[in-house]
Chain A
Amino acid sequence: MQRVVFPNKILPYLLVAPQIALTIVFFFWPASQALYQSVIREDPFGLKSGFVGFANFSAVLSEPNYLNSLKVTVIFSVLTALLAMAVALLLATAADRVVRGQAFYRTLLIWPYAVAPAVAGMLWLFMFNPAMGTFAYMLRRSGFHWDPLLNGNHAMILIVVAAAWKQISYNFLFFVAGLQAIPKSLIEAAAIDGARGTRRFWTIVFPLLAPTTFFLLVVNTVYAFFDTFGIIHSVTGGGPARATETLVYKVYNDGFVNLNLGSSAAQSVILMAIVIGLTAFQFRFVEKRVHYG
Chain B
Amino acid sequence: MATINLTDVHKTYQGDIAAIRGVSLAIADGEFIVLVGPSGCGKSTLLRMIAGLESITSGEVSIGDRVVNGLEPSERDIAMVFQNYALYPHMTVRQNLSYGLKNRNTPKDEIERRIAKAAKSLEIEPFLDRKPRQLSGGQRQRVAMGRAIVREPAAFLFDEPLSNLDAKLRVQMRVEIRRLQRALATTSVYVTHDQLEAMTLADRLVVLNGGRIEQVGTPIELYEKPATAFVATFIGSPSMNLLDIGSHDSAWTVPGGLVGKPGLATIGIRPEDITLADGSAGGDRFRARVRVGAVELVGAESYVHGTLTNGEPLVFRVAGRSRTAIDEELEVAAEPESLHWFDAAGRRL
Of the listed stretches B83-91, B180-188, B210-218, B219-227, name the one at the interface; the rest are far from the partner chain.
Answer: B83-91
Q: In the complex, what residues of A have CB within 8 A of residue B103's CB?
A: 193-195, 199
Given contacts A188-B53, A291-B90, contact A196 B82 (CB under 8 A): no
A207 adjacent to B99 (CB under 8 Å):
no
Given contacts A185-B82, A203-B99, A293-B133, contact A191 B89 (CB under 8 A): no
Q: Once bound together, how far apart are the Cα atoms of A193 and B112, in whole Å?
A: 17
- Indicate if A210 sits at the interface (CB-CB under 8 A): yes
- Indicate if A189 sits at the interface (CB-CB under 8 A): yes
Given contacts A194-B100, A194-B104, A195-B103, contact A189 B90 (CB under 8 A): no
Q: Once bound together, how far apart are the Cα atoms of A293 and B134, in whole Å?
A: 12
* A293 CB contact (under 8 Å) in B78, B82, B83, B89: B89
- Indicate if A192 sits at the interface (CB-CB under 8 A): yes
Task: Determine the main DSSP class of A at the interface with B.
Answer: helix
Q: In the complex, what residues of B have CB within 8 A of residue A189's CB?
A: 80, 82, 86-88, 147
B90 adjacent to A196 (CB under 8 Å):
no
Task: Closest A residue to B75 by CB, please name it.
Answer: A194
* B88 CB contact (under 8 Å) in A186, A188, A199: A186
Q: Once bound together, how far apart are the Cα atoms of A191 and B53, in whole Å?
A: 8
Q: In the complex, what residues of A have CB within 8 A of residue B90's CB?
A: 207-208, 210, 291
Bin chain B's interface residue count: 20 to 34
Q: In the complex, what residues of B have CB within 8 A of residue A293's CB?
A: 89, 133
Q: In the complex, what residues of B have CB within 8 A of residue A183's CB?
A: 84, 86
A186 adjacent to B86 (CB under 8 Å):
yes
A191 adjacent to B72 (CB under 8 Å):
yes
- Indicate if A204 sits at the interface (CB-CB under 8 A): yes
Contact indicator per residue, chain B 49-78, by CB within 8 Å of chain A (1) or not (0): 001110000000000000000001110001
Contact indicator per residue, chain B 128-143, by CB within 8 Å of chain A (1) or not (0): 0001010000000000
Q: Once bound together, how far apart are the Cα atoms of A188 and B79, in whole Å?
A: 11
A188 adjacent to B73 (CB under 8 Å):
yes
* B72 CB contact (under 8 Å) in A196, A204, A208, A210: A196
Q: In the complex, what residues of B have CB within 8 A of residue A190's CB?
A: 88, 99
Q: In the complex, what residues of B have CB within 8 A of residue A210's CB?
A: 90
Enumerate A170-196 residues with CB–CB distance to B below 8 Å: 183, 185-186, 188-196
Given contacts A183-B84, A203-B99, contact A192 B79 (CB under 8 A): yes
B346 to A: closest C-beta gap in Å:
35
A213 to B: closest C-beta gap in Å:
13
Q: In the complex, what residues of A have CB within 8 A of residue B72's CB?
A: 191, 196
Q: In this complex, which of A192, A199, A204, A210 has the most chain B Cβ atoms within 10 angstroms of its Cβ?
A: A192
Q: In the complex, what residues of A have CB within 8 A of residue B53's CB?
A: 188, 191-192
Task: Closest A residue to B159 by CB, please name it.
Answer: A185
* A192 CB contact (under 8 Å) in B74, B88, B89, B131: B74
* B99 CB contact (under 8 Å) in A185, A193, A208, A291: A193
B100 adjacent to A192 (CB under 8 Å):
yes
B80 adjacent to A194 (CB under 8 Å):
no
Q: In the complex, what residues of A have CB within 8 A of residue B88's CB?
A: 186, 189-190, 204
Q: Once bound together, how far apart are the Cα atoms of A198 and B82, in whole Å?
A: 24
B74 adjacent to A188 (CB under 8 Å):
no
Task: Closest B residue to A186 by CB, please name it.
Answer: B86
Q: In the complex, what residues of A have CB within 8 A of residue B99's CB?
A: 190, 193, 195, 203
11 contacts across the A-B interface (CB closer than 8 A): A183-B84, A185-B83, A189-B80, A189-B87, A190-B88, A191-B53, A191-B73, A192-B100, A194-B100, A195-B99, A195-B103
Residues of A that sit less than 8 Å from B by CB: 183, 185-186, 188-196, 199, 203-204, 207-208, 210, 291, 293
The 3 closest A-B pairs by CB, nearest first: A193-B100, A194-B74, A194-B103
With contacts A194-B100, A194-B103 known, what are 8 further pairs, Cβ within 8 A?
A: A188-B51, A188-B53, A189-B87, A189-B88, A192-B53, A192-B73, A194-B74, A203-B99
